[in-house]
Amino acid sequence: MDKADRIFVAGHRGMVGSGVVRALERRGYSNVLTRSREEVDLIDQQSVHRFFDNERPQHVVLAAAKVGGIHANRTQQVEFMYENLMIQNNVIYGALQHEVERLLFLGSSCIYPKHAPQPIREDSLLTSSLEPTNEGYALAKIAGLKLCEFIHRQKGRRFISAMPCNLYGSGDNFHPEFSHVIPGMMRRFHQAKQENRDAVTVWGTGQVRREFLHVDDLAEGVVRLLETYDESETINVGYGSDVTIQELSELMKAVVGFDGPLVNDTSMPDGTPRKLLDSSKMLATGWEPKIPLEDGLQRTYQWALEQGVFRD
């Protein structure tokens, strides 16, 4: 890849897309293309094809997706499935038709079976049933990674996919109900501290485990894969170890500075018991995560305070 190549990052306003733009620029890529939803509506096939006709990007990172936490996913399965299928079909097939050389599609570790052996290897895909709380999203992502795999094998094009573990960092969505656990918890703990509350609630039993990767670590991995990875099989990108939600909440208390007791709200779902990725293929590319969870949480809290996200 040449540093002057035209690289379209779809979804540049989101946490992952904005991280990828920063990582590409740090690495010296000087021609990163971005478009807001008002300019190119990725759900609209004509709008996407018009963009490819006019701008002729040489490479694409597909970070645009409808994403959300466990509550958003389980209550909006229709939107999560439909919107993601539309976005990825339009962008991946548009890229195929418009001679895009390299495309990287991003999914998530929820594509793997609920009870996959841990740590989860790439070949666990489609070996048994999915976690029901995010089945719509996972099915869309599986369709996208398979489309890339088929294009790679059948058309000989460098269309690849990467499956990260749970992500967090600057640019995340801090919605109180629909966000993922880190921003959701951070908001509640922050408010509890501000309002001198006695206790805060943590959804679920707190006993399930999650693997968290900072978005800047993922973004470095994305650039590396775009430059070097050329296999049809998807590749896992994880931090390498996981924590229980209980352990996460203890770290969060320290980061935010709230020291009251935690109360588990077991009317909220736990989701899958564990989804630790086996990232040995990714580590073999020479990439490794650099941001430990506690540092990443500190950075994220700092960013959230600077942006005023808790005032929204």
Residues known to be catalytic: 137
297 binds ligand GDP (CB under 6 A): no
Nearest Cα residue to 221 out of 282, 139, 133, 265: 282
**Closer residue to ligand GDP, CB minimum distance, 60 or 248:** 248
Q: Which of 107, 119, 184, 296 binds ligand GDP (CB under 6 A)?
A: 184
**Closer residue to ligand GDP, CB minimum distance, 184 or 221:** 184
70 binds ligand GDP (CB under 6 A): yes
d(CA 153, CA 291) in angstroms, rounded, equals 35
Site string for ligand GDP, 105-124 (x = CB under 6 A): -----x--------------
Q: Which of residues 148-177 bind ligand GDP (CB under 6 A)?
A: 166
Q: Which of 136, 169, 204, 296 binds ligand GDP (CB under 6 A)?
A: 204
b/e per residue, 41-58, with b = 16+ CB within 10 A? bbbeeebbeebbeeeebb
d(CA 33, CA 55) in angstroms, rounded, equals 9
Quick one: which segment of 81-89, 232-240, 264-272, 297-305 binds ligand GDP (CB under 6 A)?
Answer: 264-272
Binding stretches for ligand GDP (CB under 6 A)? 69-71, 110, 134, 166, 179-181, 184-185, 202-204, 208, 210, 245, 268-271
